Amino acid sequence: MSMARRFFRIILQCAILLAVAVTLVAVVARFSDGPIFVFPGGPLISGTPTKYESVDWSRVANVREVELQLETPPRSRITRLIIYENAPYIPCAFCTNRILKHWPRELEQDDRVILRVDGMLIEGRARRVANDSAEYLAARRAHAVKYVQPSDIRTSAESRAANVVVGAARLVPGKESTSEQDSWLYRIDSR
């Protein structure tokens, strides 16, 4: 067997193993207590049930990521958290892309959510904030201050990864470009 053929065979085997591993993690995540990395997880179980009104949102303002679960279907995902005027907001990029994002349309059917943040399970309702509102602009400024710090290595890596995703999203048929309308924002209110 030639060296090139062996090399091709090894690469093919590695690709198959990687595909099986990714598929396995994705399936396991659906039945787990929360998401695993980028894979949506099952219902949030562990944590202390906490009433929305008793949460001091300024205390968790520096938390970068939270787990967000929709009630219907009961799946969870990792997302960023913005605190503006002592209220939690969840940003959503590429929301108009039906291939990349399903949960914004699922929220239209049932807006009940659960946040797991800092060991607390907090029930709420997700209300979409209009993109042209003063509230949207102010909360997005708070997002920029929190997540866009040039000296922060993690933010820099996340920005590069986001740019790759934006470039890939632009290649999706029917999507000529991503616009500000693709970035939505949800305020989480008390139930």
Third-level CATH fold of 31-189: Pnp Oxidase; Chain A (2.30.110)
- How many CB atoms lie under 10 A from the CB of residue 12? 10
pLDDT per position as a tens digit, 126-184: 999 999 999 999 999 998 888 876 555 655 666 666 666 656 655 555 444 445 577 89
Q: Which amino acid is at 112?
A: R
Examine the pLDDT at 86 and tell me if it is beyond 70.
yes
pLDDT per position as a tens digit, 98-134: 777 889 999 999 999 999 999 999 999 999 999 999 9
- The per-residue pLDDT of the chain, averaged, comes to 85
| Strands 184-189 vs 82-84: parallel, antiparallel or unpaired | unpaired
Domain ranges (residues) in the chain: 31-189
**What are 84's strand-pairing partners?**
87
Residue 27 has a pLDDT of: 86
Examine the pLDDT at 39 and tell me if it is beyond 70.
yes
Residue 182 vs residue 74, higher pLDDT:
74
Residue 178 has a pLDDT of: 46
| Strands 87-92 vs 82-84: parallel, antiparallel or unpaired | antiparallel
pLDDT band per the 50, 70, 90 thresholds, residue 57: very high
Examine the pLDDT at 84 and tell me if it is beyond 80.
yes
Q: Which of 3-7, 79-83, 166-170 has the highest mean pLDDT?
A: 79-83
- Per the CB < 8 A criterion, the answer to whether 107 and 68 are in contact is no
Residue 157 has a pLDDT of: 64
- Per the CB < 8 A criterion, the answer to whether 42 and 71 are in contact is no
**H or E element: which one contains 77?**
strand 76-80
**H or E element: which one contains 188?**
strand 184-189
